[in-house]
Amino acid sequence: MRHILKWKDRKNVISCYLPEDAAPDKNAVAELHQMTALEETLEKLAAVSGYFQTEPRIEKIIQTPDFHKGAGIPIGTVMMTKGFVVPQAMGNDINCGMRFYTTDLSEEKIREKLSELTKKLRHIFFEGGRQIPMTGRQREALFRYGLEGLLETYQDSAKSGLWRYYEPDVQEKWLNRTVFRGSLKTSDTEGLEDFIGSYEQLGYDDQIGTIGGGNHFLEVQRVAEIYDGQTANAWNIKKGAVVVMLHTGSLTIGHHSGLLNRQICQDIYPAGLTHPENKIYPIPEAGAGSDAWSRFWSVSGNAANFGFANRLFLGFMIQDVFTDVLGACNLELLYDAPHNYIWKKQIDGKNYYIHRKGACCARGCEEMEGTEFVYYGEPVMIPGSMGSSSYLLRGLGNPESLWSASHGAGRKKSRGDAIKGNDEAFRQFMERFHVITPIDPLRNDLKGRTDILKKWEETVRAEAPYAYKDIDEVIAVHTAHDMAAPVARMEPIFTVKS
């Protein structure tokens, strides 16, 4: 179902794609209404001489089926603009995104060794078992050139730690299966000097190879159903096969960049002009903000590059666990894509900017020209809630939905509401699904520690299936509106969450 949201005295007409018979969430609609006051800000700034060189316009806004309240701008918002960008419209977790691997493992083998795998997973993900040394030169190359920067400097680490899984020929091939080749060229590393550290010396940091909190996860899944055999075959997706889906972003690096972007916006805002009540600021493409424009892309690129590398090393971490417990195995990247970023797009020779906050790009065959996905469309990864099905789709390149799709099922309960009640539903969930968190609630030394166990339970409850929309209904909306077409459905074997 597509709801059309309109407001009096505003130019915006917003398409909201929702499951059948589902009304838009009132809190999310109120937040969206507040966001549309950006039109008033643009009108005020356009009256300031020289602020914009191109007439600023919001061309279109759509809401994907996982539309729900965010922080200032709803999750699931896709906005196309001309003449300016809005940093808040990609969120602070810049390049939060998905990475998807096929494997040669069997579900039976994994379940036989699940206890041993759990112990190893908890060690490497949560108990200091990561071994990802980098020189300052590598970190600088990562921030400035992304995965291509790592390809140029990988020898600094001399195959130590998880670098033993880094094969340059493979990584070069995988660049073509990563949006932006995982490599956004930047002019600076503003504010990251301390994090970069000593140029020649190998050292460790506490960020790279981190899942992060909230709805971020790494999940090992079984392919339960195939809907599009031709595409599945081309993508090496087989019924019953084991795949890996992971969801994370740029962590504190993204938040650092988000704060810098907010400061850039406020620094160029004209003195004497009333600041917007909704605290949503544009950065002009040229004119008054020319320096701000280049700084914004550099700062955002630093965080996005880190997000790509973070997902790369999380892949090495699960490969290390599998290799250690199950023996040599093959993980083959299908695709890596952000759902929090701003895409530049040319239409009829004019520049536009597509902002996605909690939304996947879902480009069709035409937009994927020059890639190995040209005959199928862009891979679209839509996870359900923890413990429910997830889907792999192919983008259909629909301009009506701004070449976009959901990035998940979308919350129907806030984290606070999800923590309360649902005791029986939570018990059933924990009996059916294997969730690996930093805390092992069965540890003998935690018996009687109700404070720790209560906090652990609240964290898991906040992300349980009953807190989210029905993923099957969300996927049905994509099919009904030609946003993306299902290729396969996966079910979880186990989930790793912070």
The tens digit of pLDDT for each residue in 261-303 reads 999 999 999 998 999 999 999 999 975 557 899 999 999 999 9
Quote the strand ranges of 411-464, DSSP E.
435-436
27 located within any domain: yes
In a domain, 446, yes or no: no
Report the mean per-residue pLDDT for the chain: 90
The per-residue pLDDT for range 118-145, each reduced to its tens digit, is 999 999 999 989 999 999 999 999 999 9
Query: Which of 105, 115, 112 is CA-nearest to residue 436?
Result: 115
Residue 434 maps to a domain: no
Question: Would you call 334 helix, strand, or coil by DSSP?
Answer: strand
Confidence of residue 3 (pLDDT cuts 50, 70, 90): low
Count up the domains in the chain and report the number.
1
Cβ proximity of 79 and 403 under 8 Å: no
- Cα(190)–Cα(210) distance, rounded to whole angstroms? 22
What lies within 8 Å, CB to CB, of 119 at 6+ separation is none
Q: Is the residue at 449 inside a domain?
A: no
Task: Report whether 388 contacts 468 (CB < 8 A).
Answer: yes
Model confidence at 427: pLDDT above 90: no
Look at 120 and 455; give whichever has higher pLDDT. 120
What was the pLDDT predicted at 415? 57
455 part of a folded domain: no
Please tell me the distance from the alpha carbon of residue 273 to that of residue 257, in angstroms, as a whole number.
Answer: 25
The total number of residues written for the chain in this structure: 498
CATH of the domain at 23: 3.90.1860.10
> What pTM was estimated for this model as a whole?
0.93
Tell me whether residue 478 is in a domain: yes
Residue 463, in any domain of the structure: no
Reported confidence tier of residue 466, pLDDT bands at 50, 70, 90: low
Range of the domain at 243: 2-412+468-496
Higher pLDDT, 13 or 36: 36
Q: In this structure, what DSSP letter does residue 25 have?
A: P
